[in-house]
Structure 1
Amino acid sequence: MSRLTVLLVGFLLVVTGCGTENDSEGVDQSSDQSASQTPSQTPGQSSGESSLSGSWVVTAMEQDGQPRDLAPGTTVTFEFTDERVTVATGCNGLFGTYRYADGTLRIYGLGGTMMGCGGPRMEQEAWLSEQLVKSIEVEPEDGLRLTTDDAAFVLEGAPKVEDTTLAGTTWQLDSLIDGQTVSSVPQGTTASLTLTSDGTLQVDTGCNTGGGSVKVGTATLRVGPLMTTKMACVDPARQQVEAAFTKVLNGTVGYTVEADRLTLTKGDSGLGFTVK
């Protein structure tokens, strides 16, 4: 698979901090209308449409009909899977669900990671975030051309990137999945997990640490009861993340590894990770 690399009327741009309390300020792109404006149809690809699936690199951008340069030292990429889209902005990663039908792309529940970036990178991310919640027309050319009311993006297929090995990698939580809504990890909370080759799962829930047994199948994990420390966490954000861990990491859990991303799912709930 490729590197995991987007319409809401109201988009909330929140200045936040990176994963810990002491990190630099950053940005969390999420919509306060994601719950009420999730698509009525199944997200992803409509039958009869040319495929968006795969990883794409932005080679040119336009604003108001004029060329717009990428921020120095950045690469912007799009990653489409069956139901989700991820965009690397050159600063943070944005993600959400999407619907593509009749040549129109609509992105729902846009959220993002929270790394602090300065100057041109932050400005580029803010501009991209504004464009991605609009109605986007898709024109297949040699690659793809995405057009909004005042911007355009030219995309080419990205080279294939090998998937990260599941076991032996420390995976850091960056997103919480609830049905068709994807939200970023709350500010100031870090959580992670590691699977070892001897069948052990080690977790840091953002509040407590511990582990349990795990059996790895082709597309599922069988997670035994987790034994963790019992520290009380009064921070609601940490409680939220720990509750998500407990809900998903229980019994049979679906998993996918795409480039440097791991997604765990159980029913309508899920956890999204990136390589630490």
Structure 2
Amino acid sequence: MPLSLAGLTALALQGGNTSPTPFLTGTVWTLTALTDGGRLTSPGRLAPPVTLRLEGRDAAGSTGCNAYRSRFVTRANTLRFTPLLTTRRACPDFLDGLEDRFVTLMGQVRSFELRGATLTLFADKANRLVFRPAPSSPEVNMDLGGTWTVVRLEADGHSVPLASPAELTFGEGGSGQPLRLSGQAGCNRLSGSATLAEGLLTAGPLGVTRMLCAPEQMTQEAALLRALSAPLEVVLKGETLRLGGPAGQIELRRRA
């Protein structure tokens, strides 16, 4: 059922944080794929760019033929749009199907995921729209600021038991400077810096204290530090952050 402006307002008032997600706004997103008949397809080389820009509570862009606008609301990884209002320009035959499918799917969007610099909007498990930043758009501003609690840790494809609390805290490093990174690895504290570029997080150099703890805590700590030793792909979905790379996987939840 299409979401009315009144319904959008009601959704925004149902508790929780409904502030526009910083890393979604300010970027012009270009559609790279969408589902059609159950298959993920590309708009095609001949199709003009299909775009999306979110600013404040407003959504706008191009269907590839017509301009459109809408309103939206987010909470955690939930994303909902009001029905798209479009201009009425007559489109070439080969664009009609693309425009209709895009408008339909946008009205069905319920959630989103940001994986690196790829934004995916999910209508349901089978239907989605996939976007990348437009070439002229600023780099995606992924908001990692704050403290994140480690809830799952993997090394060499195997789960590592969490023997003691672990967390990572990211702080601003100043304009054009790396992020400040600190945290608790399981036994010892770590501190240093990290850079975030093109959807990859690179930590280091890191300083670590030298306390000796129980073997299971040291195993956890070694796995966490090893994962941080190589560039990690960043996947941000609501309040869940997943960092994955050749040396391990870390799943974290943002501390309230």
Give the alignment's TM-score, normalised by structure 2. Answer: 0.45
Greater fraction of residues in helix = 2
Identify which of structures 1 and 2 has the higher relative contact order when contacts are C-alpha pairs closer than 8 Å and 6+ apart.
1
Give the alignment's TM-score, normalised by structure 1. Answer: 0.42
Which of these two proteins has the greater Rg computed from alpha carbons? 2
